[in-house]
Amino acid sequence: MLDHLSVQVSDPAAALAFYDAVLAPLGGRRLLDFGDVVGYGTDRPRFWVGPLTSGSGNREVHIAFAAPDRAAVVAFFSAAVVVGAEVLHEPRMWPEYHENYYGAFVRDPDGNNVEAVSHGPA
């Protein structure tokens, strides 16, 4: 249902290094550099990162990226830890969401809650 999402960041270099690392295990990569804004995706840009251009700071958002399987969730989490992300929740089952919900949560450099989730069975 989501066509695309764009976030504004306070330190574009740090944010791009974070998203380069954590989206790769999920099949995501930079597809378009549009001036100061970078579009990530697999087939077309669906997630955009750019500098803060409005307001006086960032407000936390929650971004959940689809992972093809549980191994990709673990790889996302490992990549995030390597680049210094704050760990919110290590990869695990979340049965309160549904019986096959497997996710991991970290903070990006701007404090956003970023998740990778797989909905398939083990």
Which structural domains are found in the chain, ordered by start?
Answer: 5-51+60-118 (3.10.180.10)
Q: What is the pLDDT of residues 44-92, one digit of tens each?
A: 999 999 998 877 777 789 999 999 999 999 999 999 999 999 999 999 9
DSSP line for 55-77: SSS----EEEEE-SSHHHHHHHH
- What the block records as the tokens of 50 is 């750019």
The strands making up 37-41's β-sheet, listed across from edge to edge, are 5-9, 45-51, 37-41, 29-34
**The predicted structure's pLDDT at residue 110:** 93
18 pLDDT band, cuts 50/70/90, is very high
Q: What is the DSSP letter of 99?
A: T
**The predicted structure's pLDDT at residue 54:** 79
Q: What is the pLDDT of residues 92-115, one digit of tens each?
A: 999 999 999 999 999 999 999 999
Alpha carbon separation from 47 to 78, 93, 94 (Å, rounded): 21, 25, 25
**The predicted structure's pLDDT at residue 56:** 73
**The predicted structure's pLDDT at residue 1:** 65
**The predicted structure's pLDDT at residue 80:** 98
**The predicted structure's pLDDT at residue 60:** 84
**Other beta carbons within 10 Å of 107:** 16
Say if residues 39 and 30 touch (Cβ distance below 8 Å): yes
